[in-house]
Structures are given as C-alpha cells and as structure tokens.
Structure 1
C-alpha cells in the first residue's frame, strides 16, 4: 500500500486511468467486458473509485478497497462506501458472491501471495460461481522480459507483480479450477476462473 500511495492518488485516479497509457489501454472496453461476465451478487476486490459501476447495478454490488482515500472518493461518486479489505482478507462471509471480479489490481499482489489471494476469492464464492480477473499480464516470464525490452518498459514492469498465464494455469491446476484466458491487447488479459463441480466431471 505505502509503495504506491493510493490515498494520494485517489484525487487524480479517474483522470489518470483514462489517459490510455500502456497499462490502461482499452480501459473502458476492459471494464465493460468484465461487467459482462458478472452475474448475481458481485464482489469487486481492489475496486478503487468504482469506475466499473458505469456497467453494473449497484444494488447487486459490493466493493472491497484497502485505501481510505479511494474509499472516500468512491463514496463521493456513488453514495455508498466500499468495505475496508484486501485480496488476502475480504470481510465477507463464505459463499456470498456469485461473481468475484477484480480489475487492474491483481498486479499489486506479490507473486508468492497470488495463490492465497485466489483461495480467498474462492472462499467467498458460491458453488458454481466465477472469478474474473482483468489486468496486465504476460504469457510467460520470457514474454514479460521481451515486451519490457521492446517497448522500453523494463523498469516499470519490474516494479510491479504482473502475473503470467503460465503461473495462473499452475495455480488453477493445483486448486482444481478451470481457467480460460482472453487477451484484450498487447498488455491486458481477462482470466475467467471457476470451480470444477462434481457434476461437471467426466468419468
């Protein structure tokens, strides 16, 4: 949290993310695609100022955000405040959400904690529910380094914890999850994860 100063960023966040820099390229398109995958009771982890509510009904939505500044900005925009929590501690009872979403936030979770973050999302997910993660990520560590070099972004990429498709596939396999990956542009992917139910298994 201190590394990125989200409280200080809250005032300019909405303007900054729509400047179409490399991280936020196709920003509104990505949010709309994620919202299109969200059904039923939706929990949004790392919700920031709640931009995705442009595409979602607020009565079915719960935001979770660790930054006090972001929560205050969210409340100013939408008239209610998200919960104080983060990827490793979501203040919501088990099996409460039909869909857990997160956009442009998962790269703040250190690689060694990503599996625990997914487990926490699973904890609050109802049977048959889904997790939808949209963020900058890369197919492999090799692609991450190559794109960093080619695009002059090596320092910026190394300063964050961007996931790879390889990493997330391994985590999902270990946890018995089905995962599907959709590449939106050179940097941003959407990952759809769900539990494999007993009724889905083939003998």
Structure 2
C-alpha cells in the first residue's frame, strides 16, 4: 500500500489534532460512539491509530491493527498493550477471526484502486454474520466531492486524499454480493456498514 504520510511523526500530536475543529474530524467523538455502539464480540480495528475508539467500545475482545510504529508506541503508552503490525491490504489474522471489523478516519489513506482489495481483506477476517463498519470522510459521487470542495474552499485538501465515494463503494459491494448501508453524519462524514453472510465472496478483480 502506498505510503504518503509520516504517521510516526504525527503520532506525537495525533490526539490533539483529531480533537480540533477541522472539517475532516468534525463530530469526531460522535462518530466514534456511533461505530462503537454497533461493534460487538471480537472487534478488529484497522488503522487504529492511538486507539481512541476504546474510550467508547464495550466488547469481548479488541485487536488493533496499525502499520505505524510511532502510532503503535503511542497506543501502548496510553492503553498498556500494543496493536499488531498490519494494514488494510494485509491483516495478520486468520480468516473468520472477528465478529466486527471497524475502521475510523483511516480508509481515506487507501488509494482508490486498492479499496476493493482492502474491503475484501477486511471481510476475510470477519466471521459469517459479522459486520464491517467504516467511518470516514466520504462523498456520494466524484461530482459531489468536487462541488463540496469548491463551495467550502477545501478543494485542494479534498483532492489530495483518497476520500471514497458511495458510487465506487457501492460498485465494489455489488460485485462482492454483500448487503450494505450508509448513514450520513454531517456534511463530510459517513458511516458505512457491510454485512457478511457467508465465506463465499464473488471474485473482485476490478475494484
């Protein structure tokens, strides 16, 4: 997976930054609560950062997955244990090992051409009947992404990240044959929930 961000250095100020009033993290704690409320059983948190969702999560077991050594260190200092080293395209867990897979404010670091593969990998570690929950800045379409970016004077920021569109995600989910729903939290943030009904996924070679 492409690395464009210095997450190790960001770890030092990450908690302060996500609590700022910036548009990307608007309603940050509310979004974490919405995701935590739906999570159950064994929860795998991909791109867990410093583990802020743990403040709201009540589950049987939590497993964080984080590629940045700096973020894993900050997580360990805050919670007393460390996430495992992995990322969206390579989650070092057996198939069907989680009841819930979550990802908050991290999926926009996955390039568009790798989003299908990332979703398949997250679904792989889910048990049948499990749920995948992705909360992040998203837009309904590429046209809406550009329109909102222009209207709010943040077009450059919007285009320099890999913010998903529901059009693109919907096409991926349709090929995989999974049920999904999306809830809009505010102007920028959506929560997408995907249900896994079996271990059989439709081959997806063109995400």
In which range does the TM-score fall when normalised by the shorter chain? over 0.9
4+ residue runs of structure 1 moved beyond 4 angstroms?
Answer: none
SS at match of 1:160: coil
Provide TM-score, normalisation by structure 1.
Answer: 0.95
Q: 2:91 aligned with 1:90, yes or no?
A: yes
Distance 1:65 1:25 in 2: 23
What is the aligned residue count?
Answer: 198
1:28 maps to which residue? 29
Q: CA deviation at 1:59?
A: 5.6
- The answer as to whether partners of 1:20 and 1:27 remain within 8 angstroms in 2 is no
1:181 maps to which residue? 182
**Which residues in structure 2 correspond to 1:34-73 (within 5 Å)?**
34-57=35-58, 60-73=61-74
Q: 2:109 aligned with 1:101, yes or no?
A: no
Q: 2:17 aligned with 1:16, yes or no?
A: yes
Distance 1:4 1:139 in 2: 25
Uncovered stretches (5+) of structure 1, i.e. residues with no partner: 199-203
Provide TM-score, normalisation by structure 2.
Answer: 0.93
Indicate the RMSD between aligned Cα atoms, in angstroms: 1.3
SS at match of 2:50: coil
Q: CA deviation at 1:159?
A: 0.6
Distance 2:30 2:164 in 1: 21
2:193 maps to which residue? 192
- The answer as to whether partners of 1:176 and 1:195 remain within 8 angstroms in 2 is no
